[in-house]
Structure 1
């Protein structure tokens, strides 16, 4: 039970109340916030846009409603803790390996890089190795593209301020425009691919893991030799999407 503050600061209290409204609904409208806090719509709008500026909230361009922003998701992930996330992901990764016979990893996005935080090695003699702790350019990885596809153009251009992208093999996208086109394909299919873009001979398929509010917290990826993965991309894609949905339900 929450304990009332002895000397409450109204602006902080209102911000906290707005964020706590997300426990009951994934989408906040200006009128709902104004009614809940007992303030004018203009005041509620300023509060929401202030939280949006800190990326604690994001506005849906179609509905104009506000939902959790990426910094709020990062805060939740920090509270959960990487060790707890790995524990939740482990059985999902094991099943993913069983379903695909390839190595599976759990990754998070840090700026413009992906970080491998957990993995289960596949059973094949020739297979992708575990890469826990490894970092790589997000635009040249399946998991990175799966997570970057969650952002709008404004956020992408904030993360990639120059038109030229560095890192990855010759097969990776090396311009922001090409990356934006690639991310549109990810949004259409629900999963991202890496066809020898991070390393020659290595391919991967990944999907974003979204929490109960629809905010991407991390990604699951399956990787292996190109000659095995490429012919099975669609089947692996379906398996990865199903696994990401299962892990998302565990994080809710």
Structure 2
């Protein structure tokens, strides 16, 4: 099947073109716009789109890769959005759409479960909490809104890491030894891989005192819904009242809420 032409992405910002344009910067930015429309691009795509030699396109992509704005698939050699690009996109969305879209959903969820609930996103090896509602209970887990935690120590992080390929996980964790936060934290990449396999099988992730003593949580991924954003919902509770039956109840409510959130932001 013939590939569609690389067109329709040329966008102009506000105001007049700069008096002294920097051509290489313009070309790099145009490549990022191209990645916003396509899930991946090849070197030939970039060369064709920019009307430059393959060597020039390769130098531009190499610089974007160095800064983390693109990553190259080790098998297909195609270029895909990198962690820096997705972090910028997520940060912009978190300041605008996500908290507003999530607020009524989180409020109902917190009232239903009587526990603190969060929306989190993957930011490299960290989880960043971008929306939250605290439990109405007197004894509750304090919101982590705006904070970060190592992804491998949280239910939110593990359910998001479970959505990565094996190559993406290896790229994210080149060191097989992981830094623990508590005595219950996962400490090796092999142990994390085993846990992620269970997460994929079960459809949810749990953490019991892995990021903070006395705190337990369960998380589910938010379906993509066309937004290309990797988000998850979690419910956090004092560990003493987070029994298996509570986990099952929370998973059911979180799954319904995650589907609703995906519809709102898709």
Shared fold per TM-score greater than 0.5 = yes
Q: Tell me, yes or no, if the aligned pair for 2:209 and 2:215 is still in contact at 8 Å.
A: yes
Output the CA distance in 2 between the equivalents of 1:62 and 1:240: 35
Q: Tell me, yes or no, if the aligned pair for 2:153 and 2:180 is still in contact at 8 Å.
A: no
Q: Which moved more, 1:203-212 or 1:189-198?
A: 203-212
Output the CA distance in 1 between the equivalents of 2:20 and 2:68: 27
Q: Tell me, yes or no, if the aligned pair for 1:114 and 1:138 is still in contact at 8 Å.
A: yes
Which contiguous aligned blocks of 4+ residues in structure 1 show a shift greater than 6 angstroms? none
Output the CA distance in 2 between the equivalents of 1:130 and 1:194: 16
Instruction: Tell me the number of residue pairs that the alignment of Structure 1 and Structure 2 aligns.
Output: 247
Alignment of 1:2-81 (within 5 A): 2=13, 3-61=16-74, 63-80=76-93
Task: Find the partner of 1:224 among 233, 237, 244.
Answer: 237
Q: Give the TM-score normalised by structure 2.
A: 0.73
Alignment of 1:51-200 (within 5 A): 51-61=64-74, 63-80=76-93, 82=95, 85-98=98-111, 100-108=113-121, 112-123=125-136, 127-132=140-145, 135-149=148-162, 150=164, 151-157=168-174, 161=175, 163-168=177-182, 170-200=183-213
1:237 maps to 2:264: no
For 2:37, what is the secondary structure of its paired residue?
Answer: coil
Tell me which of the two structures has the higher relative contact order, counting C-alpha pairs closer than 8 angstroms and 6 or more residues apart.
Answer: 1
Return the offset for 1:19: 0.7
Q: Tell me, yes or no, if the aligned pair for 1:206 and 1:222 is still in contact at 8 Å.
A: yes
Q: Tell me, yes or no, if the aligned pair for 1:68 and 1:215 is still in contact at 8 Å.
A: no
For 2:143, what is the secondary structure of its paired residue?
Answer: coil
Unaligned segments of structure 2, at least 5 residues? 1-11
Output the CA distance in 2 between the equivalents of 1:86 and 1:66: 30
User: Closer, same or farther in 2 for the Cα pair 1:42/1:236, shift >3 Å?
Assistant: farther
Return the offset for 1:50: 2.7
Q: Give the TM-score normalised by structure 1.
A: 0.76
For 2:179, what is the secondary structure of its paired residue?
Answer: coil
